[in-house]
Structure 1
């Protein structure tokens, strides 16, 4: 389970600017002076903001309680996604599902500038992350960046409710544009629906390609372009999401969940869950 201080940070503290929070419930120092915008609560957004890092740092947040979108404005850094460190550069975004470890690090010479939108979701609710959501992909960060700037300016200015509502809607819509792409290849959308319905099945790349009516290499390219994962990595992602939901919302034994999401060996399942989520299934349930 998370330690007493669940947000360890080493190195230089990033410079945070234009941070806006939904309420005053979070008492961390870096949020204490941020203006409050209750309109964010409509979409279960905990806070939004922009930061810049000019020195090496590493940050880890166990059990992040909501979907997290990070969009890179300039420079580059690394974020831990799907159990591995992934590089994120300018004009890219990374999307992390809730209740996984959120970690990032930076050690470059050029300043790393990002903007983010952090949601707060319960374990029983459906997050905005879906089977069609990418983990890492191309993204124009400037519209959501300017919307965050606009919200911050309104919060520290007149604070008109109608304007706060419009800025909040704009921010949320830009997140959905990345998290729930409507232009995704229909072959992939149909394929992942089939996989979600039969996670216990022993899926292989050849069968996935046959179901999508494409060759293996074309399926690999499609998945990398639209999801930032290989086909089998995305199968694992869907299995871990289902396992996380079952652990959170049911009393099923871990052994039963293991079989339901396609694993025969409980140790293999437990190790995979820890790699992707950040801790073991029994710890997640507690």
Structure 2
């Protein structure tokens, strides 16, 4: 896709795309977990989605075939056994490849979900077996088509939430990272160095690098940058603060550096991001 194609909210399904979805409007168990909807899809070109303002976090797992997903300002080939996570308030897009079917399942969170809070997790791709999650979503869908028993629906949603947690909560699998990044979120504007972060985690800088690559697929510095930009994006759409103030809040003394970094990761300058139409 061209850069210009990313400026407009787009949802193109096409005649050869099949979708099974359950929405919180019809399922109290999803609403209780602050999940907007879950879905399983078998897609084909011209299937294309562009979200210029992702109001709630979004997790998507490739079950078969391949497609292209925009995360961290870059296009990635999204293949079988890989999950993508897009936090709230980011530019997010994905589309089918020509002559290639793409099977996916996804979980879309409400803006009120803890998963959608600024800094909850940076965007990324993670190895993940999505078949159990697919079966749980299909189980919920079939129950909704049958008796829609509240207890059975709640059980299926609980299973969905447990599988989601396996992918979205890498910090919980490594307590040292969990404590460290929570401390960073409490003071995101501080000029954190690698040595500062390592001291917080009580490990060596090199060990910290290895743990971050293992759990997030990025270096500690890149993780810190993506968290800062996620915080900035949230402030741009939820407050009336000046852009220079937001830049300082998230650790950028130089507004020009902040603007360039924001553009690289989101596709927009901060002023453009704030002024975009919202869905």
Q: Given the two structures, how large is their TM-score scaled by the length of structure 1?
A: 0.80
Maintained 8 Å contact 1:14/1:51: no
Q: Please give the per-residue CA displacement for 1:19-77, whole angstroms capped at 9, x wherever unaligned.
A: 12222xxxxxxxxxxxx334322122222111123446543121022110101112222
Quickly say closer, same or farther: Cα 1:58–1:198, change in 2 above 3 A.
same
Give 1:139 shift.
1.5
Which residue of 115, 123, 129 maps to 1:127? 115
Q: Please give the per-residue CA displacement for 1:100-139, whole angstroms capped at 9, x wherever unaligned.
A: 12201332655321100112215xx743565566722122
Give 1:165 shift.
2.3
Aligned-residue RMSD, C-alpha? 3.0
Looking at structure 1, the residues matched to 107 and 17 of structure 2 have their Cα atoms a distance apart, in angstroms, of 16
Q: Superposition pairs for residues 254-269 of structure 1, below 5 Å?
A: 254-269=243-258
Looking at structure 1, the residues matched to 7 and 81 of structure 2 have their Cα atoms a distance apart, in angstroms, of 36
Match of 2:157 in 1: 168
Quickly say closer, same or farther: Cα 1:278–1:66, change in 2 above 3 A.
farther
Looking at structure 2, the residues matched to 110 and 183 of structure 1 have their Cα atoms a distance apart, in angstroms, of 36
Maintained 8 Å contact 1:44/1:120: yes
Which residue of 199, 220, 226 maps to 2:209? 220
Quickly say closer, same or farther: Cα 1:82–1:160, change in 2 above 3 A.
same
Q: Given the two structures, how large is their TM-score scaled by the length of structure 2?
A: 0.82
* More displaced stretch, 215-224 vs 126-135: 126-135
The runs of 5 or more residues in structure 2 that have no matched partner are none
Which residue of 126, 130, 148 maps to 1:137? 126
Quickly say closer, same or farther: Cα 1:239–1:62, change in 2 above 3 A.
same
Looking at structure 1, the residues matched to 44 and 239 of structure 2 have their Cα atoms a distance apart, in angstroms, of 45
Give 1:278 shift.
4.3
Q: Does 1:99 align with 2:83?
A: no
Give the 3-state SS of the residue equivalent to 2:90 in structure 1.
coil
Q: Does 1:18 align with 2:6?
A: no
**Count of residues in Structure 1 that have an aligned counterpart in Structure 2:** 270
Match of 1:113 in 2: 103
Give 1:280 shift.
3.4
